[in-house]
């Protein structure tokens, strides 16, 4: 039981700190400020101007497939432990669900957050371009 929980913790750490960065360029962590308030930070790797990606689509799919299926497997184990009345294994299963679910939640927040940042950047860029065109048009009207 202890070995399984230690391996689960190692898996959580490896997925959160190594695999997510290398395979999909996402990372998340918790930061506590001086006031004692907790802030969750979700971050995505910036795409380079050349458009080259360090990870392939296959690696990304493998990462997301593993990230989604593992919590589902642990939930199946949870129902199995409950219905077979093996309550002593429920602690291990709950740890599996919590750790795998936390990684899934964190990476989904990273992915959604990066899309929101991309959308806001595009909106700001288009807004600036529109204002620039309006300014040029007004200058042309005043010059003529």
**Is residue 111 predicted with pLDDT exceeding 60?**
yes
The structure tokens listed for 77 are 């184990």
Of all residues in the chain, the percent with pLDDT exceeding 90 is 40
How many angstroms separate the CA atoms of 39 and 25, rounded? 20
* DSSP 8-state secondary structure symbol assigned to residue 87: G
* 15 contacts 100 by C-beta, under 8 angstroms: no
pLDDT reading at 127 higher than 70:
no
Considering the entire predicted model, what is its pTM? Answer: 0.68
Q: Which domain holds residue 87?
A: 2-45+53-143
pLDDT digits (tens, 9 = 90+) for 51-65: 445 568 888 899 999
Please tell me the predicted confidence (pLDDT) of residue 49: 47
Closest CA to 29 of 38, 42, 20, 18: 42
pLDDT, residue 126, reads 58
Structure tokens that stand for 113 in this block = 């957050």
In the chain, the number of structural domains is 1
Q: Are strands 38-44 and 26-32 parallel, antiparallel or unpaired?
A: antiparallel
Confidence of residue 138 (pLDDT cuts 50, 70, 90): low
């Amino acid at each position: 039981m202890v070995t399984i929980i230690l391996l689960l913790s190692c898996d959580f750490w490896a997925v959160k700190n190594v695999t997510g960065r290398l395979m999909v360029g996402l990372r998340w962590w918790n930061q506590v400020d001086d006031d004692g308030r907790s802030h969750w930070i979700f971050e995505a790797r910036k795409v380079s101007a050349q458009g080259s990606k360090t990870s392939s689509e296959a690696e990304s799919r493998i990462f997301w497939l593993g990230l989604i299926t593992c919590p589902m497997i642990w939930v199946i184990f949870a129902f199995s432990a409950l219905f077979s009345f093996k309550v002593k294994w429920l602690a291990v299963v709950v740890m599996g669900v919590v750790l795998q679910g936390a990684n899934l939640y964190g990476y989904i927040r990273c992915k959604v957050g990066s899309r929101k940042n991309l959308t806001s950047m595009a909106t700001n860029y288009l807004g600036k371009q529109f204002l620039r065109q309006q300014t040029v048009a007004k200058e042309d009207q005043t010059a003529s």
